[in-house]
């Protein structure tokens, strides 16, 4: 066999090196394996029939049935209260809370009424931040307990030195694609707990997935136009549970448990507009600072 010339050998070696440089490595060893998705373990034991009857929390605060057009169905609002607060009372007692995308103040008020010491709401739409302050004032919560910051949540969290025991990220994860900024901002608050309530059409699929969607910034409950928006459209993502676990892991948080939506829907005859929770496309997840919880 003819011997390969030095020139051909060098060209081959160069091509092989270029191939390796251009392609991402696939077989390298990871120090931290991606978190596994054990939905059964996160969902906890089955609750006893009858144990998940709703308290109809918002009947005491009926202004919230009128001050927004977003997610308003009475049953939905009241069952969400049980999933977000009723199941997590222990973390709200005496806590300082940050409510991301605080809207009309519904969950800021719920946090205070469930035992929180103080709440900071962050809301991009000024008319909603004003409505929230008015709603809270009408129910007796003044500036000593609650304040609303008008601004882009990513920006506010990264530029202001806000601290909290609990961060609420309710109905917001699917109105952004800026996950690094958001999670870095949440990490900077030093929160021990984070509650996420969110939707994905692929929520329970085992592989991390972020579903991309275009929203229009002129709709009340949707993403606002921000520094990266081109034209009227805002590019947002809807991460599923596996993607949320991966993102949280990158910032040393993890999902501790999922709220018992199956029990809530079993035990309450009024459940209008809760199909997304019933189909497990929407979840309420209690997350914890892994560095503290696992220490």
Sites of contact with ligand SAM (CB under 6 A) = 70-71, 101, 103, 107, 122-125, 128, 152-153, 170-172, 175, 197, 221, 223-224, 226
In angstroms, give the least distance from the CB of 128 to ligand SAM.
Answer: 5
**CB of residue 58 vs ligand SAM: minimum separation in angstroms?**
12
Least CB distance to ligand SAM at residue 192 (A): 20
In the complex with ligand SAM, the residue whose CB is nearer, 37 or 152, is: 152
Which residue's CB is nearer to ligand SAM, number 6 or number 227?
A: 227
Nearer Cβ to ligand SAM, position 28 or 228? 228
Judged by CB, which is closer to ligand SAM: 83, or 242? 83
Residue nearest to ligand SAM (CB): 171
Nearest approach in angstroms of CB 69 to ligand SAM is 10
Query: According to the 3-state scheme, what is the secondary structure of the chain?
Result: CCCCCHHHHHHHHHHHHHHHHHCCCCCCCCCCCCCCCCHHHHHCCCCCCCCCCCCCHHHHCHHHHCCCCCCCCHHHHHHHHHHHCHHHHHHHCCCEEEEECCCCCHHHHHHHHCCCCEEEEEECCHHHHHHHHHHHHHCCCCCCCEEEEECCHHHHHHHCCCCCCEEEEECCHHHECCHHHHHHHHHHCCCCEEEEEEECCCCCCCCCCEEEEEEECCCCCCCCCCCCCECCEEEEEEECHHHHHHHHHHCCEEEEEECCHHHHHHHCCCCCCCHHHHCCCEEEEEEEEHHHHCC
Kindly tell me which of 177 and 255 has the beta carbon lying closer to ligand SAM: 177
CB of 124 to ligand SAM, least distance (A): 4
């Amino acid at each position: 066999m003819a011997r390969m010339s030095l020139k051909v050998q060098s060209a081959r070696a160069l091509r092989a090196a270029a191939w390796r440089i251009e392609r991402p490595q696939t077989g390298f060893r990871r120090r931290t394996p991606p978190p596994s998705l054990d939905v059964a373990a996160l969902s906890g034991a089955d609750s006893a029939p009858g144990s998940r009857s709703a308290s109809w929390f918002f009947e005491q605060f009926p202004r919230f049935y009128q001050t927004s057009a977003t997610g308003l169905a009475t049953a939905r609002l009241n069952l969400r209260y049980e999933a977000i607060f009723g199941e997590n009372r222990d973390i709200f007692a005496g806590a300082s809370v940050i409510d991301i995308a605080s809207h009309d103040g519904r969950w800021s008020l719920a946090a205070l009424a469930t035992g929180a010491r103080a709440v900071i709401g962050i809301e991009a739409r000024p008319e909603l931040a004003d409505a929230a302050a008015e709603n809270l004032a009408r129910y007796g919560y003044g500036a000593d307990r609650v304040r609303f910051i008008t601004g882009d949540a990513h920006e506010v969290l990264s530029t202001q030195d806000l601290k909290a025991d609990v961060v609420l990220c309710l109905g917001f994860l699917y109105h952004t694609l800026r996950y690094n900024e958001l999670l870095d901002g949440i990490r900077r608050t030093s929160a021990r707990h984070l509650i996420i309530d969110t939707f994905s059409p692929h929520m329970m699929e085992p592989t991390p997935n972020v579903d991309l969607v275009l929203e229009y910034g002129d709709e009340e409950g949707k993403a606002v136009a921000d520094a990266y928006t081109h034209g009227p459209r805002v590019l947002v993502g809807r991460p599923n549970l596996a993607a949320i676990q991966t993102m949280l892991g990158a910032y040393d948080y993890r999902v501790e448990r999922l709220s018992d939506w199956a029990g809530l829907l079993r035990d309450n005859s009024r459940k209008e507009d809760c199909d997304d929770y019933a189909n497990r496309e929407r979840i309420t997840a209690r997350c914890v600072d892994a560095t503290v919880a696992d220490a």
